[in-house]
Amino acid sequence: MLDQLSARLQKVMKFLRGEGKITERNMAEALKMLRMALLEADVNYMVVKDLEERIKEKALDQRVLDSLTPAQQVIKIVRDELTSILGQEAKKLKFESSPPSIFMLVGLQGSGKTTTCGKLANWVLSLNKNPLLVSFDLKRPAAQDQLKMITNMLKLPFYELAKEQIASPKNTLKEILKHTKNQSYDPLIVDTAGRLHVDEELMEELWMVKNVLNPTEVIYVGDSMTGQDAVRSAQLFEEKIGLTSIILTKLDGDARGGAALSMVSVTKKPIKFVGVGEKFEKFEVFHPDRMASRILGMGDMLTLIEKAEKEADMREAEEFARKLRKHEFTLEDFKKQLVQLRKMGSLSQFLHMLPTGGMFKNISTMNIDDKKMVYFEAIINSMTAKERENPKIIGGRRRARIARGSGRPVSEVNQLLKQFFEMKKMMKKSQFQKLLSDLPK
C-alpha cells in the first residue's frame, strides 16, 4: 500500500535527520525531494505546490530553527501537513435520527462500486443495523445479478427489480422507499449505474435517483489505482450531482498514492472508508493521521492494536505473554500465534503497520510470502507433542519425517526451526526486557 511513495518520503525524512541544523539551503533540497516524490506518485500538481509552500513557511519559522531538535520539528510539520491534505481526522458515516438512512453509491464502471456495497453493508452489520441492498441500474441487468450474488454470500436482504419496474423508475424508487420503511430496514444501500466515462445521460439518471430518494449520503467510489483519473471523475460527480463523501477501493494495490493524497483537496469531500483487499471484511475506516504516519514510516500501531483486539483470543494472548517473560514458549505456542496473525489478515500488511525504526528497523521492508505461515503450520502439525515442546531433539531423521508428513521440503523445516531459535534468542536480549515487562501479567 503506497509503497513507492512511502519509500521516497522516508528518504526525505532520513535526509532531514542527517542534518544537524536546518537551513534555507538544505530545506530547499528536502522540499525538492518531497516535490519529486509526490509528483511521481501522481499527486495533483496544485496539491503538491500548496503543500510545499505550507511546509516551507512553517519549517523556516525562527522557533523551529532555534529549537533543540529542528529536524524532528520539520518531520512533525510534514506529517501534520500530510494529515491535513488527507482530511485531518476520521469522519463518521452519517445516519438519520429517524430511519431509514439511505446511502447512494456512485462512480464509474470497474471502480469496485458493487463490491463496495457489499463491504459497506457488512460493515454496518457491526453497528447492529439491518441493511437492505438494491441495484438501480436501468441499462445493465447484469449489475443486479452481481449485487444479488453478493447479498446471497453475505446472507443479507436484497430488493430485486422486476422488468416492468424498470419502465417507471420514479415510481419504482418510491416503492423501494415504502418497502424499506415497512420492513424496518436501515440503512438502504443503493448501487447505481456506472459508465466507462462520465456522460450527460448517466448524470441525469443519477440526479433523478438523488431527487427521489433524498439520500443521507451520496458516496463516490473511486479506484485508487487509476490515480488522477479517479480524482477528475470525483470532481465531475461532485459538480454534476453533489457528493458527501468518498470510498477509495484497491488501496492495497496502490503503490503510488496519488488519488488518496489528491482526492480530499480537489473535491473538498472526506474519504470515509478504504478497501484494502478483495474480501468483504477488508474494509476500513479511513484515518488521515494514521495514513500520514504510515506513509512516513512511523507505523500505524493504533490500527494494529484495533485489529488485535477484534481478532485475538485475549486469554491466549495473556498466556503467550507470560511464557515470553519466562522464555517458556514452544513451537505449539508459535503455531497459535501464526493462527492469530492469519485472522488479522495479510502478514505483509501487518508488518507495514510497524514503524521502520528502532527495534522494528528493516522489518516492514521484508519480502513476506503469506503462504509461508500456512506451510509453517503444516510443518508444526507434523511434529509430535514432544518435538513441539522441545525442538532441540529434532535431528536429521526427524526433520526428514516431518518434511514428508507436511508435504514440504526439508529446507523449509530447517528454516522454521532456525527462525524459531533466533526468535527465542532475540527475546532474551536486554532491548526486549522493558517491552516484555509491560505485557499483561
Sign, CA dihedral 362-86-344-427, equals positive
Residue 305 has pLDDT above 80, yes or no: no
CA 322: distance to chain centroid? 31
For the chain, what are the domain ranges?
3-86, 102-298, 302-437
Give this prediction's pTM.
0.69
**Cβ count near 80 (within 10 Å):** 15
The model's pLDDT over 366-396, given as tens digits with 9 standing for 90+, comes to: 445 667 878 888 999 999 999 998 999 999 9
Residue type (1 letter), 79 = R
Cβ pair 248, 231 in contact under 8 A: no
**Interval 344-355 mean pLDDT:** 55
The pLDDT score that the predictor gives to residue 256 is 61
The pLDDT score that the predictor gives to residue 300 is 45
The pLDDT score that the predictor gives to residue 15 is 84
CA distance 138 to 208: 12
Residue type (1 letter), 72 = Q
Residue 262 has pLDDT above 90, yes or no: no
Report for 39-43, 48-52, 257-261, 350-354: range of highest mean pLDDT: 48-52
**Interval 222-241 mean pLDDT:** 86
The pLDDT score that the predictor gives to residue 159 is 94
CA distance 27 to 37: 15
Beta strands in 62-147 (DSSP E): 102-106, 132-136
CA 125: distance to chain centroid? 19
The pLDDT score that the predictor gives to residue 358 is 45
Ranges 129-138, 250-259, 274-283, 313-322: which has the least confidence: 313-322
The fold of 102-298 is Rossmann fold (3.40.50)
* Residue 82, CA distances (Å) to 5, 70, 211, 264 in order: 12, 18, 36, 11
Helix (H, G, I), strand (E, B) or coil at 185: coil
Burial of 301 (0-12, 13-18, 19+ CB in 10 A): middle
Residue 351: pLDDT band (50, 70, 90) is low
The DSSP call for residue 296 is: T
The fold of 302-437 is 434 Repressor (Amino-terminal Domain) (1.10.260)
The pLDDT score that the predictor gives to residue 301 is 47
CA distance 204 to 215: 16
3-state SS track over 186-220? ECEEEEECCCCCCCHHHHHHHHHHHHHHCCCEEEE
Residue 69 has pLDDT above 80, yes or no: no
Ranges 51-55, 116-120, 317-321, 328-332: which has the least confidence: 317-321
| Residue 222, CA atoms < 13 Å, CB-side half-sphere | 38
- Of 418 and 225, the one with more pLDDT: 418
As a whole number, the mean pLDDT across the chain is 81
The pLDDT score that the predictor gives to residue 310 is 54
- Of 71 and 402, the one with more pLDDT: 402
Q: 350: which residues sit within 8 A by CB, 6+ positions away?
A: 304, 307, 341, 344
Strand partners, 103: 189, 217
- Of 297 and 424, the one with more pLDDT: 424
Cβ pair 80, 295 in contact under 8 A: no
The model's pLDDT over 76-115, given as tens digits with 9 standing for 90+, comes to: 888 888 888 888 888 999 999 999 999 999 998 888 899 9
The model's pLDDT over 177-187, given as tens digits with 9 standing for 90+, comes to: 999 999 999 99
CATH top class, domain 3-86: mainly alpha
Strand partners, 245: 219
